[in-house]
């Protein structure tokens, strides 16, 4: 991973966020080599014509980010663009391409197809319990603006007398 100007600026900040502390700890305690060995036989290899598969380790780390922060595939892609600590955890440098939501979806489907998601979860939990640790799920609030209808009219085309704005 090549250091960019943005990475250099980010390295100079003083405070570590809770997310950064959590991800640094997970980077240390998760048995990455064992998990990669579990997936490798099923993961497509490069050398075939067409779009090349994304690095397996990055995809696995993105999968865990999705689990820990309750991210959908599109939200995971956006989080990797928005959040430097998540990019770093996934080992995606500032000049590297972020996998799109379809690539993330295909990886998740590969894990589901071979029943690997459950095996990964069990291995990580077993590894953590041997170290006397446990993991609780967290969530990032995924705020979405939803367009509300402009009118509160009912089927007869009249306003519902019970529907009104509250006073501020």
Q: How far apart are CA 104 and CA 90, in angstroms?
A: 12
Q: Is residue 3 part of a domain?
A: no
**pLDDT band of 51, cuts 50, 70, 90:** confident
3-state secondary structure of 153: strand
Q: How far apart are CA 73 and CA 108, in angstroms?
A: 9
Q: Is residue 48 part of a domain?
A: no
Q: How far apart are CA 21 and CA 35, in angstroms?
A: 22
Instruction: Kindly give, in sequence order, each residue whose CB lies less than 8 Å from that of residue 95, ignoring residues fewer than 6 positions away.
Output: 2, 4
Looking at the DSSP assignment, which residues form a beta bridge with residue 153? 159
Residue 57's domain comprises 20-42+53-130
What average pLDDT does this structure show over 143-147?
40
Q: Are 120 and 42 in contact (CB under 8 A)?
A: no
Number of domains into which the chain is organized: 1
Distances (CA, A) of 13 to 8, 16, 19, 92: 9, 8, 15, 19
Q: Is residue 15 part of a domain?
A: no
Q: How far apart are CA 43 and CA 45, in angstroms?
A: 6
Q: Is residue 47 part of a domain?
A: no
Q: Is residue 109 part of a domain?
A: yes
Q: Is residue 87 part of a domain?
A: yes
Q: Is residue 117 part of a domain?
A: yes
Q: Is residue 71 part of a domain?
A: yes
What global pTM score does this model have? 0.72
Which tens digits make up the pLDDT trace of 83-125?
999 999 999 988 889 999 999 999 999 999 999 998 998 888 8
Distances (CA, A) of 139 to 66, 104, 110: 9, 19, 24
């Amino acid at each position: 991973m090549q250091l960019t100007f943005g990475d250099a600026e980010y390295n100079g900040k003083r405070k570590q966020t809770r997310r950064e502390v959590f991800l640094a700890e997970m980077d240390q305690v998760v048995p990455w080599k064992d998990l990669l060995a579990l997936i490798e036989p099923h993961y497509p290899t490069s050398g075939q014509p067409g779009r090349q598969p994304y690095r397996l380790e990055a995809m696995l780390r993105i999968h865990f980010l999705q689990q820990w922060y309750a991210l959908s595939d599109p939200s995971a892609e956006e989080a990797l663009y928005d959040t430097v600590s998540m990019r770093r955890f996934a080992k995606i440098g500032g000049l590297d391409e972020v996998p799109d939501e379809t690539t993330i979806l295909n990886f998740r489907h590969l894990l589901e197809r071979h029943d690997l998601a459950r095996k990964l979860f069990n291995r990580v939990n077993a590894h953590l319990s041997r170290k006397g640790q446990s993991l609780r799920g967290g969530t990032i609030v995924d705020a979405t603006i939803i367009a509300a209808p402009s009118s509160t009219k009912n089927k007869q085309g009249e306003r519902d007398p019970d529907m009104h704005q509250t006073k501020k």
